[in-house]
Structure formats: C-alpha cells, structure tokens
Amino acid sequence: MNDISAQAATLQWNDQGLVPAIAQDWQTGEVLMLAWMNREALELTVREGRAIYWSRSRGALWRKGEESGNVQHLKELRIDCDADTVLMKVEQVGDIACHTGRRSCFYQRLENGEWQVTDPVLKDPQTLYGKS
C-alpha cells in the first residue's frame, strides 16, 4: 500500500477537507482514539506507514508521536461504505495513545449517569512530552 493519491481522491472529504480517522490496536482491537485527516495527512500516513493526522486546533499536520515518541505504525487501512471515515489498525508504540498518558483516549465510561474514569495513567504527561 504505497501510492494512495488516486484512492485519496475518492474519499468524501467534509467541508473542511477532512475525514474522521479511527485508530484501533491491531492486536487487541481496542479503539485508541479518533482524530482527523486531510488528504495530505492520509497520503503521508500511507507513504510513511505511520498515523499522521491534521490537528484542527493547531491547523497543521500532526505526526502522531512526534513529541512523545508514541508513534502509531500502520498495519492496515480501511474506509467505510460511504468513504467518509478511515479506520486504521495500528501498532501503538509505548502502549500510550492518549495525551493524558493513558492507553486509549476513551477512558471515561458512563456509569450510573456519570462519566467514570476507568483506565489508569501509565505515564505522567509531563514526562511524556519531555517537560518535566
């Protein structure tokens, strides 16, 4: 899976030129995070074999793990029936996808009408981003 430019053209990019991209652990199936990709991010993801998103807050490409080292190696890339969502199976370096230092970003579960934190912080974010 190298040249993606023709395939990228077939996706249904939204008004901002983006599609949601889900990252799923390729072995456990755990959903790690959802972020966004523009066409360049998708093409680079395939070309470099690692998840590269578009940061909406920073308005820039976001090479996942560029600061933390927690790169997501691409194992498989899928699109859905409407071609408006990307699903990646990834190998999560460091076992931490979330900027809070947790394995997955989906660490809050609804229990008795409240969001409960279910997953532990594996690494202090200060350490994760080299700011300690």
Residues annotated within the binding site for Mg(2+) are 80, 82, 84
Q: Which of 92, 101, 78 is nearest to 22 (CA)?
A: 78
Cα–Cα distance, 16 to 1 (Å, whole number): 26
Cα–Cα distance, 102 to 120 (Å, whole number): 6
Provide the mask over 68-107, with x wherever binding to a second copy is found by CB under 8 A and - wherever it is not: --------xxxxxxxx-x-x----------xxx-x--xxx
Q: Which of 13, 30, 61, 94 binds a second copy (CB under 8 A)?
A: 30
For the bound state, the minimum distance from the C-beta of residue 93 to a second copy, rounded and expressed in Å, comes to 19
End-to-end CA distance of the chain: 39
For the bound state, the minimum distance from the C-beta of residue 66 to a second copy, rounded and expressed in Å, comes to 18
Cα–Cα distance, 51 to 62 (Å, whole number): 9
Binding-site ranges for a second copy (CB under 8 A): 1-4, 6-7, 10, 20, 22, 24, 28-31, 33-34, 46, 76-83, 85, 87, 98-100, 102, 105-115
